[in-house]
Copies of this chain bind each other. A is one copy, B any other.
Amino acid sequence: MARLADPDLALRRRREILEAAEGCFRRRGFHQATMQEICAEARISPGALYRYFDSKADIIAAISEEKRGEAEVEFRKLYSEHAFIDALLAVAARVLRKFSDHQTGSLFCDIAGEAARDPILARRLAALQAKSMDSFAEAVADAQVRGEVDPELLPRDVAYSLMTFIDGMGVRVAVSDEPPETILHQFRTVAERYLAPAK
């Protein structure tokens, strides 16, 4: 990325590009959306765009970074008012509803595929992932104090496992036509039995 003199303009341009790109990606998918479309929507030329972002992957990484924490904030709000398992289900439902339009879902899969082969993108996504996990593990530890989660379990393990299951549901909902509710019901059963304190 070229050096930029005016930080205000740079931030504004980046924002315009990110908003245009998000719209395009959401409508057409990561691979299907073209840089030309993004440029047109952001009212900028391709040459200028590449002054603000290194590549298409750089744009999707920046969008992911922006979005991080949205589900996290939602979960914290829900958890402050509801049981752990209910807050968990509500947040999973939120994510899966987004995925079930097959657009956000395909984007998630595309990004994962891209990251699997692009170590720089992978590292950036891993950093986001780690932050979300830390935050979620804290809530798990709290739920253990509340007696809602078996204290024998390690909070980080619980956070990791539940997030992995949510990823799996994401793939399934993205690809198939079944409604999120079906799989969410399975998730509740798995989570309840997994988390239940030993009697």
Judging by beta carbons under 8 Å apart, are A186 and B174 in contact?
no
A180 interface residue per 8 A CB criterion: no
- Bound-state Cα–Cα, A169 to B125, Å: 16
Judging by beta carbons under 8 Å apart, are B110 and A175 in contact?
no
Judging by beta carbons under 8 Å apart, are A172 and B176 in contact?
no
Judging by beta carbons under 8 Å apart, are A175 and B112 in contact?
yes
Candidate in A30, A31, A190, A194 with the most chain B CB atoms within 10 angstroms: A190
Q: A164-186: contact bitstring with B at CB < 8 Å (1 yes, 0 no)?
A: 11111111101111000001001
Contacts of A10 in B (CB 8 A): none
Given A169-B168, A194-B194, A157 and B112 contact (CB-CB distance below 8 Å): no
